[in-house]
Amino acid sequence: MKSTKSILLLVMANLLIFVTLSITFTVLVQWVLPAFGIDLRASVSSMDLLWALVIGFGGAFVSLLMSKHLARTGMQMQRIEVPQTAKERLVYQSVAQLAQRLGITMPEVWVYWNDEPNAFATGPGRNHSMVAVSSGLVNLLDDNEVRAVLAHEMGHVYNGDMLSTTLLQGLMNTFVFWLAMLAARQFDDKPMVAFMVSIVLQIGLSFLALIPITWFSRHREFAADRFAAEQVGVMPMISALQRIHQRAEAMQVHHDALREPMATAYISGGWQGLFATHPSLEARVQALRDFQAGRSA
């Protein structure tokens, strides 16, 4: 039921965004710009925004529905349904206990074989999700640190981060496609030029659209860290982050966002500056210590 509500929320949000943009677009083009001597009424199609919405949110919506399948594609993964080893029992039972405590459906639990210590969560809703951990992570961390990482990922699930990220991506996609079409329409008499303008702008604007998307990714990482601290404790989360960071540095692992569409889903991410999918280790540790100090005050 809650998964269905998440889908309905996505649809309703899309409709509300479309209505808001449509009204703004109409007022701007029909009245505001003409008042300043700028008349685009003859060159702008009222259907452009609708097409941009359909394409922008359609792509994001489809990717959300396919997120679990896409996450498993190309990875050597195994689903844990009946734990066989101590590590499998630790992972499975940790997720099960958190799901029961939070009152959500037990996510699918997967393990994938990779020396890089990492974990991620994805899925279209909190009751239709998956949590995956790498073999490198469970072999590197102690039991409490593994529980902290799993609590972090369950925080993403419980907070609906994949849905909210999809909404933001859909909105950014809509603006990118609409602005590209708007510019291309100025060259309707030159189809090839219009096509090239549209493609170049879509590429350039998509790159700029990553700035708010990655900002939101960093914001939700802080929130998931706090969630893990509430569920398992601050020190296991700090210790887990430090050990993952040290291991990643030793392996010289860096995520390339252009090749790694799941970068914002991992507990450990790459990039630098405005395009960082994750906050720095120092910022995350400091935020956790501030959270601990606030609770004890």
Long-range contact set of residues 258-267: C-beta below 8 Å, sequence gap at least 24: 261/70, 262/70, 262/71, 262/120, 262/122, 264/165, 264/213, 264/214, 264/217, 265/71, 265/120, 265/121, 265/122, 265/156, 265/162, 266/118, 266/119, 266/120, 267/118, 267/119, 267/120, 267/149, 267/152, 267/153
Ordered strands of the 77-79 beta sheet = 77-79, 108-112, 128-134, 119-125
Burial class for 100, CB neighbours closer than 10 Å (0-12, 13-18, 19+): exposed
Is 153 tagged catalytic? yes
Please answer whether residues 2 and 104 qualify as being in contact, where contact means their C-beta atoms are separated by less than 8 angstroms. yes
Write the Ramachandran bin of 271: left for phi over 0, alpha for psi from -120 to 50, otherwise beta.
left
The active-site residue out of 153, 230, 249, 260 is 153
Rg (CA), the chain: 22
Active site residues: 153
